[in-house]
Amino acid sequence: MKKNILLLTTLSLSASLLLAQSSTTLSVGGTYSDGKYGTENSSTSIYIPVTATYKNNMFEMDVTVPYIELDSEGSFTWTPGGPVPISPTKSTDYLTTDSLSDPLTSTDTNTSKTKTSGLGDINVKVAYTFVPTKGLYLKTSAIMKVATADKDKGLGTGENDYSAQLDIYKVLGSAYIYLSGGYTLMGDSNTTDYNNVAYGSTALGYNFTPALSSGINYSYREAIFDTLDDTQSASVYMSYKASKSFKIATSYTYGLSDSAADNAYTLTLSKTF
């Protein structure tokens, strides 16, 4: 009887501890970007993701549902790296050109201004963080992009993508170094053959106070077509914890390659429950 009581007490304490270490965070962001993306005309886009994140000890799962608005000349499609121009000069990337209504396979040279908007592709991520030594964090993630966007509007490729990612975070007193790298298996359609994509970023940041931090970041992503440049960009960011459960983050990104947005402005609000 005493053993049963001890077991029940231990299980209750373990469950309470587990519950105390779990949390749910809801984030709403917005990114406005503009650029030519390697074309002769300027385009603008608005990307508004809503993300729900559940954390329990070292385990993390999040789901992101985005809204996209794209104002461009010519044909574009939205990818995990942002908008990508689609033009007849990239015919080697296509398996067929039967459908003129699909911006991914269109041979229409019309560059009139078009504006599309709607639900983007939903992203689901499962991650686990390892702490091999004090101040060093290794996060391994599996990511699936679910093809929920309307490809006929250029809001997605119409295919699921699968990614594996590793993040390394190292604390150096009040400063920190962040490294991230991943690889995406792009889903091919019956009309379009995409390159699989390697991507990565590195950041150097500083915690001015427990609530305020800032840093600089460099990002790189391979192109989904051989005829496009790889995307490179640099950004400055700042994060402020207004309270124990509410955080504000903002950043400015500058494109370093023709395929990147010239400028991008981001604001994110996060609430932890």
Which pLDDT tens digit goes with each residue over 189-203? 888 889 999 999 999
Q: Sort strands 75-79 and 136-146 into parallel, antiparallel or unpaired.
A: unpaired
Give the distance between the most distant pair of CA atoms in the chain: 81
User: What pLDDT digit, counting tens, does each position of 54-80 carry?
Assistant: 999 999 999 999 999 999 877 788 888
More confident residue, 6 or 31: 31
Would you kindly state where each structural domain of the chain is located, as residue ranges? 2-272
Name the percent of the chain in helix, strand, coil, to the closest 5.
10, 60, 30
Rounded distance, CA 90 to CA 229, Å? 12
Three-state secondary-structure class, residue 152: helix
Q: Is CATH 2.40.160.40 what the domain over 2-272 is classified as, yes or no?
A: yes
What percentage of the chain reaches a pLDDT higher than 70? 82
Find out whether 30 and 9 touch, Cβ atoms under 8 Å: no
State residue 86's pLDDT score. Answer: 76
For residue range 74-122, what is the model confidence (pLDDT) as tens digits? 778 888 888 888 753 444 444 443 333 333 444 444 456 788 999 999 9
* CB count in 10 Å sphere of residue 63: 14
